[in-house]
Structure 1
Amino acid sequence: MTRYEQLAQQLREQIRTGVWLEGDKLPSLRETVRRSGLSLMTVLSAYQLLESQGWVRSRPQSGYFVAPAREVARYVSPQQLLQPAETVDINAFIFSVLQAGNNPDCVALGSAFPDPSLFPQHQLSRSLIRIARQLLPQSAGVTLPPGCADLRRSIAQRYAARGLEISPSEIVITSGALEALNLSLQSLTRPGDWVVIESPAFYGALQAIERHHLKAVAVATDPQLGMDIDALAQALQQYPIKACWLMSHSQNPLGGSMPTDHKQRLLTLLAEHEVSLIEDDVYGELYAGLTPPLPVKAWDSEGRVLHCGSFSKTLAAGFRIGWVAAGKQAEAIQRLQLMSTLSTSAPMQLALADYLSSHRYDKHLHTLRRTLEQRKHIFYRAIKREFSDQVQVNYAEGSYFLWLEMPEHCCATELYWRALKEGITIAPGRMFAAGEQYRHCFRLNASLPWNARSETAIRQLAALIDEQITLS
């Protein structure tokens, strides 16, 4: 961590804890230089970093001031803590939405992926070309489960850097995180079993439950803190739960991350009921701040947590490379993979292993996290400026999603189809639940560059929402 990043972190914590309140003027650059002993350039860089992250605002000839607090939503609308569903039928709706919005000319505010221009495409291409030149016919064998040994070692080394002892033999390379999650669910359940998911939930979880003919208990999920642990305890008491599927960091679609004490309580509770956890951590590398959060897997001493990750949200969406640190389930998942997709692309695995060996990934992630936070704050400010005051916006640190809640009489699915005619996509709340409880909510992707197209799209959405509010 550089000195200016250390200073920025110190000031950020002071703002969080109330040392500096909204509108307060921070110490001047010269005063901070005198107090800290740092150079003027270091102090200026720290203040500029805080400004780019939305913590402070600069005023010409006046200095830096604490920015207005970002809106923090609690539970999204009054909702039942538990929402059981013996039948999940969502895939047809999700398919229709995703297919209709699959137009490269649209402003993709509904996309689940970051702006692809933020990925190191030239470096990845060089790795892919280098591997293609070296690839021998017999190299195809590396694609058989559990996958490329060099790539699994690189992933294990990244776990080790965060203090997690995970052997490469526990890691299974998959065709994206969704395959890792599906295989994990399949290894733990049988048709008719009950599974705990979040409410609202990542739509891939709902599709997997439908595909495998499972029953779901959706547990209330806080936009800032993640799944309600007390409600989870109630679900475990009332239903014969076989598995729990959740996102511990930057939950999709809400954006919140579980605090450390919640993660520990969660694992203890699941252990008491002998329930395994499928931890979907595809956004774990896109954290806010300077310290990477530990996944629930970090406290797992019994092999109860199947930790699933991916490079699709951080490095190369089109490579479709994910993995699961499956522990004692690793062999079962390999057998299931062999019967379904058989293997994961050998060139893509080898190219990623080559790129990771260059040690450029962490530098890329540092830049990516900073850019995503800057862009999200710009989108947030534009939405607060253009949208009706009746629209609530949840801003959670990390990742690149904003979750919006319109008045309950509005319909985000109708908004989706009307926006699509204007060349704009959103992700309507109906995608994230088995029922209709989030029909008035939607998710926005704030990773896109802020330009004339983005600004126009936000204004058009604001006008369409105003029409719904007025006419409904």
Structure 2
Amino acid sequence: MAKYEQLASQIRQQIESGIWRAGEKMPSLRKQAAHSGMSLMTVMHAYQQLESQGWLVAHPRSGYTVAESIRISPQSHNAAVETAEAVDINSFIFDVLQACRKPYMINFAFAYPDPNLYPRHQVNKSLMHAARSIPVSNALDNLPPGNDTLRAMIAQRYAAKGISIAPDEIVITAGALEALNLSLQAVTRPGDWVVVESPTFYGALQSLERLGLKALSVRTDPKTGLDLTSLERAFQSHSVKACWLMTNHQNPLGFTLTEPKKRQLISLLNKYQVALIEDDVYSELYAGNEQPLPAKAFDASGNVMLCSSFSKSLVAGFRIGWVAAGKRATDIQKLQLMSTLTTSVPIQLALVDYLSTRNYEHHLRQLRRTLDKRKKAMCRLLTQMLPPDVEIEPAEGSYFVWLRLPVTSDTMAIYTQALAENITIAPGKMFSPGKQFNHCLRLNTSFELDESHTDAIRRLAEIINQHLEQQ
């Protein structure tokens, strides 16, 4: 097959999969040549062949568009790339999270694992020890980038996984969300385009809204993860400054990118000179015996900012996170000085004490086993109680399950009815700037299925079934 025929076949497959839509303008001959590495003549022959076959339409002095007669096969309800010039979601997220605070709620919308799974007694001992022994000079010692010993411990934990990250690259932050926000600020300005997954963690959307950034939501599959062909299309069609992605145990879908896809992702980012903000807060909560590596493990450019925390694996209330910031470590320290100034000194010292004197690895092994057991039990219960047209995505690792109802469903109606009965869920509207996931919802599976939680799941299933019968 000639090169132009290979390119034509590739573009035809992209059109069939929805990456290029009917009536949409294709990249110019020169842009396509630059992206594909083929000659201008090869690209022109490919476009001409697609035009003769009815896939493309030529416009004098205006290039090519996808033919209006082309209709994309409905393999996905989610478009390849969705744009949002303005993100407006914070008020809705605030309302959902406020409802979660009520103590009498059965809280399947909760963002953290069951608090009873944390080693509270041991952590409190470390906190009391730190409070008693804190020296007078410690406020200065723990200014950005943070406590030297804690940063060295984090670097050593990465080294044990085969990832070389120097302590000087690590900045301690007030939770992972501050690490993610500071990283985003370091590489963007208001009005810039940022790629997120579709669906994505709602905190990413809140950050884009706060900073006045534009969202490019790239199609993401519950099993295979981010569509890298669609990601490259986004890079080609927009001036993207950064990607905010979760390559391990993505929230809300739960997938983990394979190592080859992580390598391919890094290659694409380097090719188009786009920064990666990697949200890796669930990486310790894997199922099985092998922890997945972050995409940063395959990057040699310093262009990946790896963000994580102890909030999901040790204790939520401490709010200690970090960013392994690569070449932008100094920039992030300067930004932190203008916002939180420094992360809590006693909490940093408490973590140093805990990590040096307690058995953190033993706790993690127990936590992973319990989360895996509880997720499987929840999925069995949901499978028994819900009809086959409700798809349950129980990806391994972490503690969320993603439910997809028929596309005509409205999980906001289910959310409202469940809330009236003191049950909270996370409706799909939380995870996208658009409406394409309004038929989905996320559940937290980390709680023990005692009588009250089992009854709540049973009642939630009844609400879902009633809703589907009315559709």
Could you tell me whether the CA contact under 8 Å between 1:76 and 1:405 is conserved in 2? no
**Equivalents in 2 of 1:77, 1:108: separation in Å?**
30
Q: Which residue is equivalent to 2:440? A: 441
**Equivalents in 1 of 2:160, 2:154: separation in Å?**
10
Could you tell me whether the CA contact under 8 Å between 1:76 and 1:223 is conserved in 2? no
**Equivalents in 1 of 2:78, 2:133: separation in Å?**
56
Q: What is the TM-score of this pair, normalised by structure 1?
A: 0.83
1:282 to 2:267 alignment = no
**Equivalents in 2 of 1:307, 1:137: separation in Å?**
32
What SS does the aligned partner of 1:313 have?
coil
The alpha carbon displacement at 1:417 in A equals: 1.6
**Equivalents in 2 of 1:355, 1:397: separation in Å?**
28
**Equivalents in 2 of 1:126, 1:205: separation in Å?**
34
The alpha carbon displacement at 1:342 in A equals: 1.1
What SS does the aligned partner of 1:317 have?
coil
1:326 to 2:325 alignment = yes
Could you tell me whether the CA contact under 8 Å between 2:144 and 2:342 is conserved in 1? yes
Q: Which residue is equivalent to 2:381? A: 382
The alpha carbon displacement at 1:455 in A equals: 0.7
**Equivalents in 2 of 1:248, 1:104: separation in Å?**
33
**Equivalents in 2 of 1:77, 1:421: separation in Å?**
33
Q: How is 1:6-405 mapped onto 2 (pairs within 5 angstroms)?
A: 77-358=76-357, 360-405=359-404
The alpha carbon displacement at 1:359 in A equals: 5.1
Q: Which residue is equivalent to 2:44? A: none
The alpha carbon displacement at 1:312 in A equals: 0.4
Could you tell me whether the CA contact under 8 Å between 1:101 and 1:420 is conserved in 2? no
Deviation track 1:88-130 (CA, whole Å, cap 9, x = no partner) reads 1111111111112211221111111000111111110110011
CA change 1:210–1:127 in 2 (3 A) is same
Q: Which residue is equivalent to 2:27? A: none
Could you tell me whether the CA contact under 8 Å between 1:195 and 1:244 is conserved in 2? yes
Moved more, 333-342 or 136-145: 136-145
What SS does the aligned partner of 2:261 have?
helix
CA change 1:337–1:90 in 2 (3 A) is same
Moved more, 367-376 or 100-109: 100-109
Q: Which letter maps to 1:137? A: V
**Equivalents in 2 of 1:173, 1:238: separation in Å?**
36
The alpha carbon displacement at 1:409 in A equals: 2.0
The alpha carbon displacement at 1:137 in A equals: 2.9
**Equivalents in 1 of 2:75, 2:320: separation in Å?**
33
RMSD (CA atoms): 1.2
Q: Which residue is equivalent to 1:11? A: none
Could you tell me whether the CA contact under 8 Å between 1:403 and 1:444 is conserved in 2? yes
Could you tell me whether the CA contact under 8 Å between 1:115 and 1:448 is conserved in 2? yes
Q: Which letter maps to 1:409? A: T
Deviation track 1:246-286 (CA, whole Å, cap 9, x = no partner) reads 00100000000000000000000110001110000000111
**Equivalents in 2 of 1:239, 1:359: separation in Å?**
49
Q: Which letter maps to 1:125? A: N
What SS does the aligned partner of 1:319 have?
coil
**Equivalents in 1 of 2:75, 2:392: separation in Å?**
10
**Equivalents in 2 of 1:95, 1:246: separation in Å?**
22
- Structure 2 unaligned residues grouped into runs of 5+: 1-73
Could you tell me whether the CA contact under 8 Å between 2:108 and 2:424 is conserved in 1? yes
**Equivalents in 2 of 1:350, 1:225: separation in Å?**
40
**Equivalents in 2 of 1:229, 1:218: separation in Å?**
12
Q: Which letter maps to 1:238? A: S
**Equivalents in 1 of 2:412, 2:141: separation in Å?**
44
Could you tell me whether the CA contact under 8 Å between 1:403 and 1:441 is conserved in 2? yes
**Equivalents in 2 of 1:464, 1:407: separation in Å?**
15
**Equivalents in 2 of 1:263, 1:80: separation in Å?**
22
Could you tell me whether the CA contact under 8 Å between 1:76 and 1:222 is conserved in 2? no
Could you tell me whether the CA contact under 8 Å between 2:180 and 2:307 is conserved in 1? yes
Could you tell me whether the CA contact under 8 Å between 1:200 and 1:433 is conserved in 2? yes
- Structure 1 unaligned residues grouped into runs of 5+: 1-74
Q: Which residue is equivalent to 2:416? A: 417
The alpha carbon displacement at 1:218 in A equals: 0.4
The alpha carbon displacement at 1:447 in A equals: 0.3
Q: Which letter maps to 1:187? A: A
**Equivalents in 2 of 1:408, 1:274: separation in Å?**
37
**Equivalents in 2 of 1:294, 1:248: separation in Å?**
9
CA change 1:77–1:403 in 2 (3 A) is farther
**Equivalents in 2 of 1:418, 1:342: separation in Å?**
43
Deviation track 1:358-411 (CA, whole Å, cap 9, x = no partner) reads 251111111111110000000000000112222110010101110001122221
Q: Which residue is equivalent to 2:452? A: 453
**Equivalents in 1 of 2:142, 2:227: separation in Å?**
39
> How many percent identity over aligned positions?
54
**Equivalents in 2 of 1:267, 1:332: separation in Å?**
22
What SS does the aligned partner of 2:137 have?
helix
The alpha carbon displacement at 1:77 in A equals: 5.0
**Equivalents in 2 of 1:274, 1:437: separation in Å?**
29
Could you tell me whether the CA contact under 8 Å between 1:388 and 1:462 is conserved in 2? no
Deviation track 1:195-251 (CA, whole Å, cap 9, x = no partner) reads 110000000000111111011110011112221111111111111000011001000
Q: Which letter maps to 1:107? A: I
The alpha carbon displacement at 1:138 in A equals: 2.2
**Equivalents in 1 of 2:469, 2:115: separation in Å?**
37
Deviation track 1:324-382 (CA, whole Å, cap 9, x = no partner) reads 00011011001101101111111111101111112511111111111100000000000
Number of residue pairs aligned between Structure 1 and Structure 2: 398
